[in-house]
Amino acid sequence: MPGPGADRGGSGEPGAPQVLRFRPMLRLGPVTLETNLLLAPIAGYCDLAFRQLCRSQGGLGLACTDLLSPQGLLRGTATSLDLARTNDADKPVGMQLYGSDPEIMAAGAVWAAEHGATVVDINMGCPVDKVTKKDGGSKLLCDPERAERIVRRVRAALEGRVPVTCKLRLGWFDGQPVAEWLAPRLVGAGAAAITVHGRTTEQKFSGQVSHEGIARVVEAVAGRVPVIGNGDVREPRDVVEMVARTGCDGVMIGRGALSTPWIFRDAWALLRGRPVPAEPTEREKIGLVRRYFELMLEYRDERYAMDQIRRRITWFAKRLGPCKPLKEAVRTAAGPGDVLGALDEFLSGGLRCVEHEREERAPQTLFAA
């Protein structure tokens, strides 16, 4: 069943740009975003370097940090502080907290506001066991009273300094929707926006995202605050489809950005009925890989940067065509010089597949919080 935005206008001609009626700028309480496109908090992938890479391509309204433990922030653990790291070029930025204790969540939110957060988001959507077994993430969908108390307490602690938002799944079990009646309660408790991943916890990342489920949340919230749709956005046209089918006010993109940091630029053009810019050239794509690696070296140590580029090269290479030798050269590189040398050699015509390369499966361990 089509959602409330399904009749949003367009030419009706195959392949023609759709011109949608939507909020061109999102207001999250006192914060106004320049576009309605957001980078999701993807665990293990949304470091400061990658956020800046996406921002450099244009079209991104808000980037989110990785999932943050408020206890870790308050204790000053190295891992939590690194995940929360930001700078002046990384604005506006959302810091997403997970947990189940309203007081600890409130204290963590205050820490985030004092350390650069433009928005504080409460995670009610992570389906991973290590989060839900501590009653955080999507487990809060099973305890709506606690979820509401957390929002009220966090909002009170922030005292209007930054807005508080919530990210939900449709529910815990398939066929038992929660978000459509919980979202209005969270708005009443002070949430300035609701993001909905269109799957249940039971689904995790299997099957297809439910546009209908997101549309029901949009209807339930009834325009009181923006509703942001999330899930299965791999190409710019998926953003247009999400808005058209659900009536949502914005779209959060996760895994689709890992191989295509310019997806926000392209989707923003489509949403406004403009032609999609030309795809970056091969040299420009390699330049993005190089820039990401250089930023990782700048913000972290060499060991960490090497670990990350070895993990990330499969994603970056998805838009480079057959290049298994390049991926292997980066994965086996002994140091930064070898990584940069492999990128240069690729641009010079080396490290390419002569025979047909069977595409590798993308890593399945990541999850969007």
251-302 pLDDT per residue, tens: 999 999 999 999 999 999 999 999 999 999 999 999 999 999 999 999 999 9
Q: φ and ψ at 327, to 5 degrees? A: -60, -40
- Name the maximum alpha-carbon separation found in the chain: 61
pLDDT, averaged across the chain: 91
Please tell me whether the overall predicted TM-score, pTM, comes out greater than 0.75 for this model: yes
Residues with catalytic function = 126
Q: Nearest CA to 40 among 183, 200, 247, 197?
A: 197
For the chain, which residues score pLDDT lower than 70? 1-24, 354-369
What are the residues facing 229 on neighbouring strands?
196, 251
What is the rounded CA–CA span in Å between residue 185 and residue 187?
5
What is the rounded CA–CA span in Å between residue 216 and residue 222?
10
Q: At what angle do helices 179-189 and 211-221 cross, to 10 degrees?
A: 40
